[in-house]
Amino acid sequence: MRKATIFVVALAVVALAVTGITPVAATAAPKYLTIGTGGVTGVYYPTGGAIARIVNKKRDVYNMRLTVESTGGSVFNINAIMQGDLEFGVVQSDRQYQAFNGSPDSEWAGKPQKNLRALFAVHPESITLLAAVDAGINSVMDLKGKRVNIGNPGSGQRQNSIDVLTALGIDYEKDIQAESLKAAEAPGMLQDGRLDAFFYTVGHPSGAFKEATSGVREVKFIEIKLPDSFYKKFSYYAPSVVPVLGNYPGAANKSDVASFGVKATFVTSSKVKDKYVYGVVKEIFENFDELKSLHPAYSVLTKENMLEGLSAPLHPGAEKYYKEAGMMK
């Protein structure tokens, strides 16, 4: 019986070879590629999920499947991509610039990450400051002596917080009681009275700020005003507005609040194959309306502004699609 089975299988293999038909079992397993995002209360995590959801509809076409990982944020994502532990990541535009150029006063000082490659930009992000009303904080200068979360090491928001404080003459190591919490921890600690304020760089509306403005302790968003010299020094920053009204009814503010911001960008490594990058970019841009519908932070997206804020070179796979689509020469 066993010999007969082997004989039948052998005949089938020969027949397939003669006809040129490939057995289904011989099809290569899909390539799993991971997107590094951020904390689950921010916009990076759902952004990674939105990209994966759209691209995975064509997983059989590109023979790949995207997965999403919650991480410490921009710095972690860039370093993990450079080390080959992640294939893609959502990072702040300022961090993309600093990493590729090895900027002084950054984690990559003197060590430019020349294998970093850009795909596209996503939503704008505002450096946002929220404070407890009872802490008596009405401006950034009022943070002196207060307990303030500036963000965890490995996050883009930490350097943003330090940039704000430094620009206004506040030494974060001496003038405030700086905490290094993850973004998801800060809202609860503000409500519990263990923080007076916290910074968070994020697209709006944000789950973290919805949580922080929904508690018993009254809170308000604090305006961040910076001199023109700041924007000349840091060209990747631009003035922005925190859309408080309509998004955070629990806040004490009666109007939206001025701030400044960066962009969330989607990056990879030069070592990731062109065909995978091409597939990701093609599916995102050819399903643009679906992408915009997946989160309120994407409402301001246009195909054109998704190519702004990119300081690392485009990956060849992305460039191939943009040329085919007539988006670049």
125-262 matches 31-124+263-324 in CATH topology: yes
Percentage, residues of the chain above pLDDT 70: 92
Break the chain into its structural domains and give their ranges: 31-124+263-324, 125-262
Q: Are 27 and 171 spatial neighbours (Cβ–Cβ below 8 Å)?
A: no
Residue 138 pLDDT: 97
How confident is the model over 44-55, as pLDDT tens digits? Answer: 999 999 999 999
Burial 287-311 (b: 16+ CB within 10 A, else e): beeebbebbbbbeebeeeebbebbb
DSSP for 49-66 reads HHHHHHHHTTHHHHTEEE
Q: 202: which strand partners?
A: 126
Residue 27 pLDDT: 55
Token match 């700086």: residue? Answer: 178
Distance CA 264, CA 133 (A): 30
Between residues 81 and 42, which one has the greater pLDDT?
Answer: 81
CATH topology of domain 125-262: D-Maltodextrin-Binding Protein; domain 2 (3.40.190)
Cis check for the bond before 205: say yes or no (omega within 30 of 0): yes
Q: What is the mean pLDDT of residues 6-32?
A: 52
pLDDT exceeds cutoff 60 at 25: no
Residue 223 pLDDT: 98
Q: For 223, left (φ over 0), alpha (ψ -120 to 50), or beta?
A: beta
Q: What is the pairing mode between strands 64-69 and 31-36?
A: parallel
pLDDT band at 19 (very low <50, low <70, confident <90, very high): very low
pLDDT exceeds cutoff 60 at 267: yes
* Mean of the per-residue pLDDT values of the chain: 91
Residue 9 pLDDT: 43
Query: What is the homologous superfamily of the domain 31-124+263-324 according to CATH?
Result: Periplasmic binding protein-like II (3.40.190.10)
Residue 155 pLDDT: 87
pLDDT exceeds cutoff 80 at 131: yes
Helix, strand, coil abundance in the chain, percent, nearest 5: 40, 20, 40
Q: Are 268 and 117 spatial neighbours (Cβ–Cβ below 8 Å)?
A: yes
Q: Are 38 and 69 spatial neighbours (Cβ–Cβ below 8 Å)?
A: no
Residue 69 pLDDT: 97
Burial of 53 (0-12, 13-18, 19+ CB in 10 A): middle
How confident is the model over 143-166, as pLDDT tens digits? Answer: 999 999 999 998 889 999 999 999
Q: 168: which strand partners?
A: none
Q: What is the mean pLDDT of residues 263-271?
A: 96
Residue 23 pLDDT: 43
Distance CA 301, CA 15 (A): 53
Q: Are 194 and 179 spatial neighbours (Cβ–Cβ below 8 Å)?
A: no
pLDDT exceeds cutoff 50 at 176: yes
Tokens in use for 87?
């294939």
Residues ≥6 apart with Cβ < 8 Å to 304: none
SS3 at position 150: coil
What residue ranges in the chain does DSSP mark as E strands?
31-36, 64-69, 88-92, 116-132, 147-149, 177-179, 197-202, 219-222, 238-242, 257-269
